[in-house]
Amino acid sequence: MKRIAALLAGILLLAGCTPKEVRIPTEDGVLVLHPLLDNAIRIRLEPADYKPLPELVYTEDAPMPKFSVTRKDGVVEVRTERMSARYEKGNLSFFDADGKMLLQEDGHRLEKTTVQGEPAYAATQRFLSPEDEFLFGTGQFQDGFLDIRGVTRRLTQVNTQIALPFILSSQGYALLWNNYGLTDFNPADHSLPLVADDQDGRTETVNATGTSGNRQERRMYKEFHGCIDLPEDGTYALLLDVGQKMARRHYLAIDGTPLVDVTNTWLPPTTSALGTFQAGTHDITVEGVHGDAPVLYWRKVDSSTTFSSPVAAALDYTVFAGRADEAIGAYRTLTGPVPEMPDWMFGYIHCRERYHSQAEILENAREFKDRGLPLDVIVQDWQWWGPTGWNSMEFDRENYPDPKALTDALHAMDTRFMISVWSKVDKASALGKRLEENGCYIDGTDWIDFFDPDAAAFYARNFRDSLAVPYGIDAWWFDATEPENDDLAGRRVGKNQVPGEWFRNVYPLMVNRTMHETLSSVMQPVILTRSAFPGAQRYGVVTWSGDVGNDFGTLRRQIAGGLGQMASGLPWWTFDAGGFFRPGDQYTSAEYQERLVRWIQAATFLPFMRVHGYMSNTEPWHYAPETQEIIAKYLDLRKQLQPYILECAARVSNEGYTLMRPLVFDFPDDPEALRQDDEFLFGPDYLVHPVTAPGVTSWRTYLPATEGGWKDFWTGQQYEGGQYVETDVDLGTIPVFVRQ
């Protein structure tokens, strides 16, 4: 059999027809094994009526790797230099070059369904997951989990949540689920709609943002109740869906014990929890707001990991073999490397909501310089367009009389200028009317249809000619690129008006591609964006964690969320240091200013250091003298670190490196390191452990085992690795250790 296979391969080579993939007929369709690199194999189960979608994620024309195929007794094995895939008894297993098993399928489903009345498939793939496996990824979430083995998540794009269907395993592999739509990670087996109390609860009025600007929103809270029956003792994964496109409150209690308790002006519609329970009946309490229709989903955690998409053309995924840097490097080889970023973006980026005029921007930029505070980028948030209409591409000339002079004046102060732009345009504006005449909107929304090449090109031309070329603006903050409120569901997109569910999560990729390609012809693109999808790293985008709160719990969840994105292959990330939503007494509250300082200390060691705040004057001099002193210390530290940061950034572009590093990247064989969800490496040298609790005077940090041990950044004290250490902290310090 091997001789026949070799002879056939030789005939194909002589004919110039080198096979690129292996096709295996099965009961469910044709199974395609397609080696993409020496350590990457793409798997696709194609139904009989398979119609491929356009390829949006894989862009690089990598040389086809050499591979061999053996068939014996119903077993088919595809082997490259660094990994192999073996098909046997209906399932696939994946191995590294030494024959160690990396991953094993454990059943799949490919079922016919419909979407908006049109034929489609639902695809589900289950994999075995050993108990000693740690899993990371799926993007940036607000549930606080870094190790997501067993966690149930719903992957949708919303404010504060970035869905990236990519996981990284401590077992030496990564996996990209090739689906553009909604994906359920470890979907639940059971669900329970909860029933609202007859009586209303407390009410409050909050300052909220929306797609039409600042507004006040009155919220009426309610409790919802139900019971679940668990058949056996064990650990259960729970998913709470509030039943609206955005939540205002995440509160879930089981038998009176809270598992989730988070309040913010905006929250994702779902949140996840894990809990250990005994068999029997358990009381469920959820607090939400009027208009919620909460449903609780649950499943018993077992030795499996599952991806499931309700809308699919085929069952499709890619396995990358190797430790973190190697696997993510392979992913970027196929989906695009990270372009170089200008040096000034790695300094200090200052923002607030918002500057109201050209004069106000210049006044504050000069104040930074006069006080000797580093300032590399200053940002104009939304509504610089004034009465001309939302994102009209026109400055309000009463308050911004000469945008070119504004940019020139900032450049003279060695400061760059970033402004906020959107993927939506007011239909009543002059530009909006032209966009509508040209059919550029997704029906029923103000969002541009970037799936339509003509609509994208029309938007791009206006953006280029109205803003990018005339004023010398350096960087662009592209907001609400999800699009906000998951607006593709139930709508149609593109020239052919296909159901939006096919592309529900990929809108941010299309938006950022348009921006990058438009800017590339006139400048070096620098794009800060609120959402992304696999492949977005090739457009050089920087994401941030959206409109988050300011409490310590939120700070800790941002660290886990950012590390989850790092494990998903997108390296550029930051947050609104100080929290976007801030208290009204922020300038006098010692409690808030303690939190503000801790946010800024953590931000010093992020890929990008950026301060922002809603309805806030975020400049340091508005706060107490001690707060000002500490902020100045960390702005200066960021400046001192810049040569090191730039060296690491070059590795990100040239080597597929990651600057903000979950500990699995460097210590995959240290189980205790893998359990840490709020520590990270900043490049190869610095271990950072942000303080995320009030009033502490010491902080406990795990130091992974490493040759030479660790040195305290502040005191110089030496420590051996492989142990927890308790270090003194004051308001001016957080634990930072230097690897020796």
Whether the bond into 483 is cis, omega within 30 of 0: yes
C-alpha 737: how far from chain center? 27
Percent residues over pLDDT 70 in the chain: 97
Burial state string for 80-105 with b = 16 or more CB within 10 A and e = fewer than 16: bebbbbbbeeeebbbbbeeeeebbeb
In this model, does residue 70 exceed pLDDT 60?
A: yes
pLDDT band of residue 206 (cuts 50, 70, 90) is: confident
Are the C-beta atoms of residues 564 and 146 closer than 8 Å to each other?
A: yes
Does 4 score more than 80 pLDDT? no
User: Is there a contact between 254 and 220 (Cβ–Cβ < 8 Å)?
Assistant: no
Contact 549, 249 (CB under 8 A): no
pLDDT of residue 634: 98
Confidence category of residue 207, pLDDT binned at 50, 70, 90: confident
Classify residue 193 by its DSSP letter: E
| pLDDT value, residue 613 | 98
263-291: average pLDDT: 96
**Mean pLDDT (whole number) for 179-201:** 94
- Cα 416 to the center of its chain, rounded Å: 26
Task: Please state, in angstroms and as integers, the Cα–Cα distance from residue 156 to each residue in 119, 178, 446, 498, following that order.
Answer: 22, 15, 20, 19
CB 318 within 8 A of CB 178: yes
Which whole number is the average pLDDT over 541-552?
Answer: 98
Cβ neighbours, 10 Å, residue 255 = 12
Backbone φ and ψ of 23, nearest 5°: -115, 125
Cβ–Cβ < 8 Å for 212, 235:
no
What pLDDT, on a 0 to 100 scale, did the predictor assign at position 61?
79
| pLDDT (0 to 100) of residue 285 | 98
Query: Which pLDDT belongs to residue 40?
Result: 98
Distance CA 266, CA 370 (A): 37
Three-state helix/strand/coil letters over 127-165: EECCCCCCEEEEEECCCCCCCCCCCCEEECCECCEEEEE
pLDDT at position 8 over 70: no
3-state DSSP call for residue 538? helix
Instruction: State the maximum Cα–Cα separation within the chain, in Å, rounded to a whole number.
Output: 81
Q: What is the pLDDT of residue 213?
A: 67
Whole-number pLDDT of residue 18: 57
453 neighbors 461 (Cβ within 8 angstroms) = no
- The DSSP string of 11-48 is HHHHTT-----EEEEETTEEEEEEEEETTEEEEEEE-T
Q: What is the pLDDT of residue 225?
A: 98
Q: What is the mean pLDDT of residues 64-73?
A: 95
3-state helix, strand, coil in the chain (%, to 5): 25, 35, 40
**680-682 and 686-688 strand pairing:** antiparallel
What are φ and ψ of residue 342, in 5° steps? -60, 150
- pLDDT over 90 (residue 205): no
Q: How confident is the model at residue 212 (pLDDT cuts 50, 70, 90)?
A: low
Tokens matching residue 138:
């799926």
Residues 151, 135: Cα–Cα separation, whole Å: 10
Residue 208 pLDDT: 74
> What span, in angstroms and rounded, lies between the C-alpha atoms of 475 and 528?
8
Domains of the chain with bracketed CATH: 18-188+305-334 (2.60.40.1760), 190-200+229-302 (2.60.120.430), 342-651 (3.20.20.80), 672-739 (2.60.40.1180)
Main-chain dihedrals φ then ψ at residue 284, nearest 5 degrees: -110, 130
CA distance 284 to 274: 14
pLDDT interval class at 5 (50, 70, 90): very low
Mean pLDDT of 577-606: 98
The tens digit of pLDDT for each residue in 106-162 reads 999 999 999 999 999 999 999 999 999 999 999 999 999 999 999 999 999 999 999
Residue 15 has pLDDT above 70, yes or no: no
Tens digit of pLDDT for each residue in 352-403? 999 999 999 999 999 999 999 999 999 999 999 999 999 999 999 999 999 9
Residues 318-335: tens digit of each pLDDT = 999 999 999 999 999 999
Residue 633: its H or E element: helix 625-655
Q: Distance between CA 465 and CA 521 in Å, rounded? A: 12
Is pLDDT of 12 > 50? no
Map residue 724 onto helix, strand or coil: strand
Give per-residue pLDDT as tens, 229-262: 999 999 999 999 999 999 999 999 999 999 999 9
Q: How far apart are CA 605 and CA 464, in angstroms?
A: 34
d(CA 177, CA 183): 9
Average pLDDT, the chain: 95
CA distance 563 to 575: 12
pLDDT at 655: 96
Instruction: Please name the residues in contact with 110: beta carbons below 8 A apart, sequence gap of 6 or more.
Output: 28, 29, 45, 47, 121, 122, 123, 124, 312, 314, 315
- Asked if residue 239 lies in contact with residue 270, where contact means CB atoms within 8 angstroms, the answer is yes
- pLDDT band, residue 169 (cuts 50/70/90): very high
Closest CA to 333 of 586, 654, 552, 640: 654
Query: Is 418:431 a contact under the CB 8 Å cutoff?
Result: no
The set of residues, in sequence order, having a beta carbon less than 8 Å from that of 108 and lying 6+ positions away, is 28, 45, 123, 124, 125, 126, 315
DSSP state of 442: P
Question: For residue range 610-662, what is the model confidence (pLDDT) as tens digits?
Answer: 999 999 999 999 999 999 999 999 999 999 999 999 999 999 999 999 999 99
**What type of residue sits at position 313?**
A
Q: Where residue 204 falls among pLDDT bands split at 50, 70, 90?
A: confident
CA distance 160 to 176: 22
